[in-house]
Structures are given as C-alpha cells and as structure tokens.
Amino acid sequence: MPASADISGPSDAQLVHRLKQGDDDALAALFQRYGRIVYAVALRVLGESSAAEDVSQEIFMQLWRKPQLFDSQRGSLSAWLAVVTRHRSIDQLRKRRPQCDIEDVQLFTDIKLDEHVFRSVAMEKVRAVLGSLPHDQRSALEMAFFDGLTHVEIAEKTSQPLGTIKTRIRTALLALRGALVNAE
C-alpha cells in the first residue's frame, strides 16, 4: 500500500469536499491514506482480520455517504477516523448497537496530524511514552481503550481497588499529552 500522501498532494479537506460531489477517486485516495490506520485500530480491538475488514469498510462507507460528518474545524481526519473506528469496533466486540454518536467526537489538537511527516513524528513520541509507562498503567489504559472495559470491569479483572484503576488510567492518559508537549 502506498504511503500516505505527502504534503504536496490534495489536503484531507479537499478530498472530503470531492467526496461530497460523489468522487469515488477521492474515497480511494482517503482509503490509501488512512485505511491502514483504520484497519490497524479495528484489528487491535477485534483481534480478527475479517471483522476488522468489515468495520474498516463500514467506516469508509459512512464517510462516503455522509462526508459532512467530518468537520476539519474540529480536528484532523486521521484522528477522527481512528477514534470512530475504535468506537465501532468496541460496539462490534460487545455485539451491541452503536453506543456512541460518532458525530460527537470532538478532537482539538494543535498537532498537524494530517501531514504524514508530523503524524509520524508524533506517533513515535506517543509509542515511546506508552512503552515507558509502568506495566500496570499501560495495561489499565489499554484494557479501557482497546478492550472497551469499564473501570469497574478492569478492577474486577485485575483484583485491584477501583480508585487505583482510576488513577492508573488517568495518569497514563495524561502521560500521552506530555509526550507531545515535550515534542514541540
């Protein structure tokens, strides 16, 4: 799969605008650009490739049918797609109706995540921070985010007090923010 478009290609906003005009080449371009991220998140949550493929298609079909769901003023398309994919994958994992109004996803970040080079640098920083987290913090964070467990379920699963789990999750998530603050 080709790498994401470099900064000289059409912007995400331009491609989304072309989607509104029914340009399926724009959809293909966005899939080339972000299909890997979407599939990776779905696969991480669902752990099974055909389910991840189904969710990936569903996400891009939704973008095709209602491109106005994404507003570039609210954040980057890559982040929005990643979070939306996570939500849908968790719903699929739990075999439940969609719990989240994906249009309510609000992502405000100063990091230029739409530019491949900036996103790569940012993600390297984030992965480094994740790797440096104490095991208990990282585990709690990942159980909450990728397994869709509530803090109550995590506490039961790990036989830890609720307050401890809450603190671990909160500390781990704030550590990610610190990664990018230090990166600038």
Residues 10-39 that bind another protein (CB under 8 A): 24, 27-28, 31-32, 35-39
Euclidean distance between CA atoms 72 and 70, whole angstroms: 6
Asked if 82 is part of the footprint of another protein (rule: CB under 8 A), the reply reads yes
Kindly write down the DSSP assignment for every residue of 46-108, as one continuous string.
H--HHHHHHHHHHHHHHHHH-GGG--GGGS-HHHHHHHHHHHHHHHHHTT----S-GGG----
Q: Which of residues 60-79 bind another protein (CB under 8 A)?
A: 60-61, 64-66, 69, 74-75, 78-79
Under rule CB under 8 A, residue 109 binds another protein:
yes
Least separation in angstroms between residue 55's CB and another protein is: 10
13 vs 40 by CB, closer to another protein: 40
Please tell me whether residue 100 binds another protein under the rule CB under 8 A: yes
| Size, binding site for another protein by CB under 8 A | 73
Rg of the chain in Å (alpha carbons) = 17
